[in-house]
Chain A
Amino acid sequence: MLEAFKKTEVYKSIFRHSYQDTQRNRALQIVDNVFLHLHPVRVPRHATNIGYTWGMGGITFLLFLVLTITGIILMFYYRPTAQYAYEDMKYLMNDVPFGPLIRNMHRWAAHAMVLTVMLHMFRVFLTGSYKPPRQFNWVVGVILLVLTLLLSFSGYLLPWDQLAIWAVTVGTNMARATPLLGHEGPFGPELGMMPDNDVRFVLLGGTEVGPPTLLRFYVGHCIFLPIIAAIFMAVHFWRVRKDGGISGPETPKKT
């Protein structure tokens, strides 16, 4: 029956080529697949070597996908208001089927992503892969690093427990001291900065971490930052290919 199905127009319209192991089919497998066609058809052998890339860029991306999926599931159970947020977390952890699993995966994948993105950067530096022609992609990478940290940090507040609110308080207290723009920063008071009109106020939507902060961080965490990060990732992957694929030694094989 499968054989018969393979002959129908429906099957052919979906898969387009047979699965015989030929050079041509191996190439088509890549080019005809929207997900795989991020790849070139052929790469230098060392690019498939985990020892060279450590696979950390790819793993970072995988974790980002995991975070997107688990994050969307979490959104079904979570209301970003001071009244409900914590209750929703309790409900999720105690009563929702597989709730703890989803939340744990989201949490641990987020931590792991911060770790892998740092290791990815370390690898890219050590192989000198930021050198021409890949300078700009390194800059895109740095932006992604910052976005990753911001995503993780904004998510930290959402459980609305003691850990969350104080970690974010410590983190955002720094903004008071911004030179010129913070009410405790150098030249801030001279420019008329007060607790209720400086950058920290804009960030928190108040003079302390409160309900408006929760909403702000929620929107940033679930909508704004992921979209920006996804856009920069698209640019990042596009540039990896446009810059000639994974970096490698210039010199031809020496004998």
Chain B
Amino acid sequence: MQQFFEILTKPDNLPIVFLLFSVIFFTWFAWTKAKKNDAQGYPVEATLDDKVQVWPYLVRVEFLATIAVMAVLVIWSITLDAPLEEPANRALTPNPSKAPWYFLGLQEMLVYFDPWIAGVVLPSLIIVGLMAIPYIDINPKGNGYYTFKERKFAVLVFSFGFLILWCLLIFIGTFLRGPGWNFFMPGEKWDPHFVAVLTNVDFSEMWPFNIATRMPDGSLNPAAFIFGAVCVFGFYSLGPLYWLRKRNTDFMKKLGLVRYAIVSFLFLTMMGLLVKILLRLIPTFLGMNPVKYVWVTPWFNV
């Protein structure tokens, strides 16, 4: 426990403690506002639409906020020194080596995916996906006030991505990942000699499929390759299938095929992360071998 406390109070980890509290607070705060707006049928913001003069009403708020932020920052800087460790030394690799905290969600993804996905494709998709949001969300409601009822899908998906896949993974990466990137519960000692006995298998090798990924001579088994391809493409074909069923609804017509294709691709990719995480975790809990790859090819593995 003492060690957990040490990690918790490492100066560079303080922002993550702030992150934890502020994210929980603001989620709760926005949620109560949305509930209230939804219950009363019109947004509170609409009752505050009379114009006020910026000087003094807005400038005053900004001024007070500035003083508050500066006070916190100065106190924080007086009481806590920024870390300065031993001089850089290429010959001495710390264990665990961690990226800065805001990238730990991505580093955590390395557990489940190869670097080309976790380190390159995912960040790019996050950026592109975020930029696409205004153009693929065609719901005109909920513009300029807090609401949940009027845009459930959008709020749920975004909150899941931000709170679970981004913030929670940062938290896990910082506080629960020790030497060798092994998972340690709070209070457990970070033992550098701990070796997790993990024999990962590929998805095709699981019961009831039992298709070996490699032939006895070490070459790739074509059956496993095809099986993996079917799994991956089958997963993404959920998008087109859903479209075929719903394409005649008013909503789909308004959304259009291009927008739908982008939404379904991004959404399925996000869910794919979850699927892969679960493929790792569920077998572990059942005492079986966790899944490493769903699809092995000569060039890349998924």
Contact = CB atoms under 8 A, between A and B. Distances in A.
B73 A43 contact: no
Contacts of B66: 62
B50 A185 contact: no
Interface stretch (A3-11, A176-184, A217-225, A227-235): A176-184
Contacts of A121: 130
B228 to A, nearest CB: 15
B99 A167 contact: yes
A103 to B, nearest CB: 6
B88 A165 contact: yes
A104 B84 CA distance: 11
Interface string A138-160: 11001001100100110010011
B61 interface: yes
Nearest to B58: A48
Given A45-B50, A119-B23, A153 B100 contact: yes
Interface in B276-293: none
A58 B103 CA distance: 24
B216 interface: no
A143 B102 CA distance: 16
A250 B143 contact: yes
Main secondary structure of the interface of A (DSSP, over half): helix
Given A62-B69, A170-B97, A43 B26 contact: no
Given A142-B130, A167-B99, A249-B145, A112 B73 contact: yes
B54 A163 contact: no
Contacts of A149: 102-103
A178 B22 CA distance: 34
B116 A44 contact: no
Contacts of B135: 135
Interface string B3-47: 000000000101100110011001001100110000001111111
B116 A160 contact: no
Contact of B48 (A41, A44, A135, A145): A44
Interface string B139-155: 11111111100010011
Interface of B: 12, 14-15, 18-19, 22-23, 26, 29-30, 33-34, 41-59, 61-62, 65-66, 69-70, 73-74, 76-78, 80-90, 92-94, 97-103, 106-107, 114-116, 118-121, 127, 130-131, 133-135, 137, 139-147, 151, 154-155, 158, 162, 166, 299-300
Interface of A: 23, 26-27, 29-30, 36, 39-52, 54-55, 58-59, 62-63, 66, 82, 86, 89-90, 93, 100-101, 103-109, 111-112, 114-115, 118-119, 121-123, 125-132, 134-136, 138-139, 142, 145-146, 149, 152-153, 156, 159-167, 169-171, 173-179, 182, 184-187, 190, 208-210, 247-254
23 contacts: A45-B48, A51-B33, A86-B87, A93-B84, A101-B74, A101-B77, A104-B80, A106-B82, A115-B22, A121-B130, A126-B146, A128-B145, A138-B134, A153-B100, A161-B83, A161-B85, A163-B85, A170-B99, A173-B119, A179-B121, A187-B300, A210-B90, A247-B144
